[in-house]
Amino acid sequence: MIQAVLFDKTKYTEEEAMQFLRQHKLRPIKPVHITEHKLRYRLALPHFQHYITKRAQEGVEYVIGF
């Protein structure tokens, strides 16, 4: 399951990131968490045992929990 989606701040604005999420029918459960380099949108609570990060496309990564 996708736990979070990370966007590179040099490639996406908050508005562009939200548009990407809407286009892919992904709904954040919390407001964006902004770090120095990333915009993080949490899609599920972090209750998984293991996590991996997969690059979806340039500037977008999925955090997958299982």
The predicted-structure confidence for 1-56, as pLDDT tens digits, reads as follows: 999 999 999 999 999 999 999 999 999 999 999 999 999 999 999 999 999 999 99
Asked if 64 and 54 count as a contact pair (C-beta separation under 8 A), the reply is yes
d(CA 60, CA 6): 6
**What's the pTM value of the predicted model, to 2 decimals?**
0.93
